């Protein structure tokens, strides 16, 4: 029961889904006995701050996603996927950073299979991604989380799901990514790992860190 209450506080998803989430994160012994790296415990945010931070996090993700995807669409229309790859390379982080300034938060898109080294999930962010992937939820667009990081700043997290439109740049290297585009990706990101995804896969998470602890 304690695990369920904790999970309810962390996850903002439909009630029936929450039951399946009950095995995490309090049941860490299982993960450890399977030899996986230890997952840091997730700390919930207080009830009073929950609603306002969660809706603010949701809104920031929506706005940032809309800004990025409209710029991406424009770049594809202007010069196809190669031009858009160049756009993502130079403009994705400045776009997220400028919205972070507007909202006075820290915005990141992080992944366990990142393309840009700056988007590599750290241990805490990896624990958020692991939590989401362990839910076994068919529709991850319903899921979001609100927790505190190691320094007690509130963090809002929301899954990033792969759709059709992502495949020319993140899909199968045999089927979806044109050889010339793959070459360009390899040139821009020699150590990039962000290919091989299918529609519906978890690509990573939005990680919004609020800059104030005062409302906790």
Is 160 among the residues that bind ligand HEC (CB under 6 A)? yes
Is 88 among the residues that bind ligand HEC (CB under 6 A)? yes
In which region does residue 161 sit, left (phi positive, over 0), alpha (psi from -120 to 50) or beta (all else)?
beta
Rounded Cα distance, 69 and 205, in Å:
16
Taking the CA atoms of 7, 10, 12 and 13 in sequence, report the sign of the dihedral they define: negative
CB of 120 to ligand HEC, least distance (A): 8
Rounded Cα distance, 73 and 80, in Å:
9
Candidate segments 35-43, 53-61, 77-85, 121-129, binder of ligand HEC by CB under 6 A? 77-85
Compose the 164-193 pattern: x for residues touching ligand HEC by CB under 6 A, - for all others: -xx-xxx-----------------------
Residue 193: cis peptide before it, omega within 30 degrees of 0:
no
* Residue 144: alpha-carbon gap to chain centroid: 10
CB of 101 to ligand HEC, least distance (A): 17
Residue in 18, 17, 22 with CA at minimum distance from that of residue 2: 22
Residue from 13, 100, 204, 210 binding ligand HEC (CB under 6 A): 204
By beta-carbon proximity to ligand HEC, the closer residue of 104 and 164 is 164
Which structure tokens are listed for 202?
């978890």
Is 133 among the residues that bind ligand HEC (CB under 6 A)? no
Query: Footprint of ligand HEC on this chain (CB under 6 A)?
Result: 81, 84-85, 88-89, 92-93, 109, 111, 114-116, 119, 160, 162-163, 165-166, 168-170, 194, 203-204
């Amino acid at each position: 029961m304690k695990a369920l209450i904790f999970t309810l506080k962390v996850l903002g998803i439909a009630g029936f889904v929450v039951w399946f989430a009950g095995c995490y994160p309090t049941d860490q012994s299982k993960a450890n006995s399977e030899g996986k790296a230890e997952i840091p415990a997730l700390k919930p945010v207080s009830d009073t701050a929950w609603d306002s931070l969660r809706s603010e996090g949701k809104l920031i993700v929506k706005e940032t996603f809309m800004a990025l995807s409209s710029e991406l669409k424009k770049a594809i229309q202007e010069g196809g996927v190669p031009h858009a790859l160049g756009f993502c390379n130079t403009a994705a982080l400045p776009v997220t950073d400028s919205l972070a300034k507007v909202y006075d938060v820290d915005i990141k898109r992080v992944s366990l299979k990142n393309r840009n080294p700056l988007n590599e999930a750290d241990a805490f962010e990896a624990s958020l991604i692991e939590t989401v992937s362990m839910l076994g939820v068919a529709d991850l667009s319903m899921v979001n989380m609100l927790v505190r990081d190691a320094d007690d700043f509130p963090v809002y997290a929301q899954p990033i799901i792969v759709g059709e439109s992502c495949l020319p740049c993140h899909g199968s290297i045999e089927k979806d990514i044109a050889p010339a585009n793959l070459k360009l990706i390899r040139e821009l990101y020699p150590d990039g790992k962000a290919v091989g995804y299918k529609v519906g896969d978890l690509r990573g998470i939005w990680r919004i860190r609020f800059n104030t602890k005062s409302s906790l």
